[in-house]
A and B are shown apart, each in its own frame.
Chain A
C-alpha cells in the first residue's frame, strides 16, 4: 500500500464556479520526493494535509489516504501527526518569540513529554543546521534561516510526510540554497516529501517523481527525465536550463536519449559531442 493515495479527488472552493481539482488520482510511495506543477498544485497539497476539507470550505469528493488514514474521517490534529506542512512565507509560520519556542510549539500541542521534546528539538535543529540559533529571537533571523526553523518545527512533530508549498518563494538565492540543502539531507534520510516549487534547477536532481496538473486534471506523472520529455515544448513550465538546451539541440546533434537534468550531466554530455 502506498504512503499517500488520492482516489478521484475533486474540489471546488466555496463561492467559486471553477473546479480546482477534478478526478485526481495519485499515489506516493514512502521515501519518495514528489514535485507538483501546474494549476491547482497548492490545493492538492491542502488535500494531503487535511486542510481540505477540514479548514478550507468547498465541495470535496473522492478520498485521500495518508499512511492508511482517511483524512476526511480524521481530525486535523491527528493528520498533523502524519503530515507536516511548510508554507510559503516563513513569517506566518513562526508564532513565537524564540527559535526554541517555535520548534517545540507543535509538540506541545500534541502533548509530547518535555524529555522527548528536548530530544526531538536537538535532532530537528541539527538536521536543519540551526542548533547554534536555538535561543535566538525569531525576528533576528534571515528569511532562509526562518524557513529552516519552520522546517525544523515540522520535523520535530515526527510526521512521516513533509508537504511544502513553495517554501523558497519569499527567499533570496542564498536562502533558497539553504532550504534545498536541507531538503537534500531529508531525502537522504528517507523522508517522504511532496513539494510545490518553481525552481527546476534545484528540483530536478532531487525529485523521484514529477506531477503536472492542467485544468485541475492530472496531465503527467513520471520520473524527471521522462516527465520533461513528455511535456517538452510546454512554455508554461520552467525546465532546467541544461534540459532546455538539450531539447533545442537533440534534433541537430547526436546527443543520445538520456535527458540531462544537472549542469554536471550537461557538461559531460555536451563535451562528448
Chain B
C-alpha cells in the first residue's frame, strides 16, 4: 500500500521546534525563503542558505530520511542543468575539447551559473519538504481558513492527502487485474506505454468519479460547508517564538532583496 509521505513524516517530526510554530508563521517563513531564493543567483549566498537549512533539519529533530530523500529525486535534474550551462555559456572558457569531431568548450561562469540554478532547485525542494513535514495538514487548513480562504478550498489539501493513496491503491488493483488478463504494460517500450495506459486510466477515472460522488454525499450528510462559519476542535496558539521567526524571516527577505537590488549579492 502506498505510504502517506506527509503523515508518516509528521508523526516522526511531532516534537520539533518548527512543528510547534503557528502554521501562519511557517507560511510567512516559507514565503520569505521563496523570495530570497529567487532574489539572488549568488553562489555563495545560496550555499550559505543550504547550509543553514541542513543545520536546521539536523538540529530540529525532523525526520531525516524523507527530508533528504527528496534530494535524490532532484539531483539528476541538477546535473543536467549544470552540464547545459557549462557547455553553452560563452564567458571564461576554461577548457576546449574535441568530442567525436565536435568542438566543445567548458565555461567557468556557466558552471557557477548552473550550480546556482541547481542550488535554487535543491533549496526549493528542501524547504517545501521541510514545510510539509512539520506543518500538520489539519492545522494548515485551519490557518488558511483564518487567513480568509473559504474552508471548502482550504480543506482540499487534507482531502487529497487522505484519498490519493486510495486512488494509487486502485490503480495497482486495476493494473494487476489487467496483467492477469495478459495485458502487461510494464514490459513495453516507454513510448508505447503512454498509449497503452488507456485500459488502466479509463477504469481508474470511472472508479475515482464514483468514489468522489460517494464522498461528496457522505460529506453533505455531515453538513459540510452548510453554514458560513464553523468551529474547530484544535486551537492554534501563537507565542513569542512565532513573533521572533516572523520578524527574522521578513528582515532576512528584505535584506536579500535590497542587497540584490544594490548589487551587493
Contact = CB atoms under 8 A, between A and B. Distances in A.
A18 interface: no
Interface string B210-224: 010011011111111
Nearest to B142: A108
B221 A49 contact: yes
A105 B222 contact: yes
Interface size class on chain B is 20 to 34
Nearest to B211: A92
Nearest to A79: B221
Residue of B162, B223, B229, B230 with most chain A CB atoms under a 10 A cut-off: B223
B102 interface: no
Nearest to B161: A97
Interface in A2-61: 49, 51, 55-56
Interface string B234-251: 010000000000000000
B117 to A, nearest CB: 35
A20 to B, nearest CB: 16
A92 B218 contact: yes
Contacts of A95: 158-159, 162, 215, 218-219
Interface string A88-106: 0101111111101100111
Interface in B2-47: 4, 7, 11
A96 B219 CA distance: 11
Given A95-B219, A97-B138, A108 B230 contact: yes
A257 interface: no
A85 interface: yes
A104 B224 CA distance: 12
A108 B111 CA distance: 55
Contact of A137 (B11, B223, B225, B232): B11
A94 B162 contact: yes
Contacts of A189: none
A139 interface: yes
B99 interface: no
Interface stretch (A62-70, A109-117, A199-207, A242-250): A109-117
Nearest to A87: B218
Contacts of B144: none
A80 interface: yes
A124 interface: no
Contact of A101 (B138, B215, B222, B226): B138
Contacts of A117: 231, 233
B220 A55 contact: yes
Nearest to A100: B233
Interface centre among A81, A89, A97 (most CB of B within 10 A): A97
A100 B166 CA distance: 20
Contacts of A80: 221-223, 226
Given A97-B7, A137-B4, A92 B214 contact: yes
Contacts of B165: 139
Contacts of B218: 85, 87, 92-93, 95
10 contacts: A56-B217, A87-B217, A94-B162, A97-B161, A105-B222, A111-B227, A111-B229, A114-B233, A137-B4, A139-B7
- 6 tightest A-B CB contacts, nearest first: A77-B226, A77-B223, A106-B222, A109-B223, A104-B233, A92-B214
Given A95-B218, A113-B231, 16 more contacts: A55-B217, A56-B217, A76-B223, A77-B227, A80-B221, A80-B223, A81-B223, A92-B214, A92-B218, A97-B7, A98-B138, A106-B223, A109-B225, A112-B231, A117-B231, A137-B11
